[in-house]
Amino acid sequence: MDERGLLDPALIRPGNFTQRRGFEAARELLDLPTPPTAIFAASDATALGAMDAVKDRGLRVPTDISVVGFDDIAAASQSHPALTTVRHPIHNMSGSALRLLAGALVGEAVRGTVLDYPSELVVRETTAPPRGA
């Protein structure tokens, strides 16, 4: 994104993966002179908080602003509207981590091990083209 000039540091907000921080960060973004047309949160909990902030401003997800989370927690599919999110294979990832840990405990070389896991975009109801697109 940075190489293509798509990364705008003014649109990045630090967070702690909580719903409360998602609410606060989204309010900050919505207060910008030109608010974003979409929010991609670092966790589903943060995204759910962002959705609350959007609704609190009288705006609608996804009609006025799209929201995407990351994790695919149970609440993502149960929210209204249902949250679009990125799912990653957490069970496979944790299993690999445990195998690496067990190997390290018996002296196997694990330093520098790189594991690659595919992620999946789970499209639900919180994304739409920007208005006027």
- Residue 124 · residue 77 · CB < 8 Å: yes
Q: What does the domain layout of the chain look like in residue ranges?
A: 9-122
Residue with tokens 């609440």: 75
Report pLDDT for 3: 78
Following DSSP, what letter does each residue of 23-66 receive, concatenated? Answer: HHHHHHHHTSSS--SEEE-SSHHHHHHHHHHHHHTT--TTTT-E
Bridge partners (DSSP) of residue 75 are none
Residue with tokens 């929210």: 79
Report pLDDT for 4: 76
Report pLDDT for 5: 76
- Residue 50 · residue 22 · CB < 8 Å: yes
Nearest to 45 by CA among 66, 24, 76, 67: 76
Which is it for strands 120-122 and 66-70: parallel, antiparallel or unpaired?
A: unpaired
Q: What's this model's pTM, rounded to 2 decimal places?
A: 0.86
CATH class of the 9-122 domain in this structure: alpha beta
Report pLDDT for 120: 97
pLDDT tens profile 89-120:
989 999 999 999 999 999 999 999 999 999 99
Residues of the chain with pLDDT under 70: 1-2, 133
Report pLDDT for 8: 87
The rounded distance, in Å, linking the Cα atoms of 18 and 95 is: 26
Report pLDDT for 77: 97
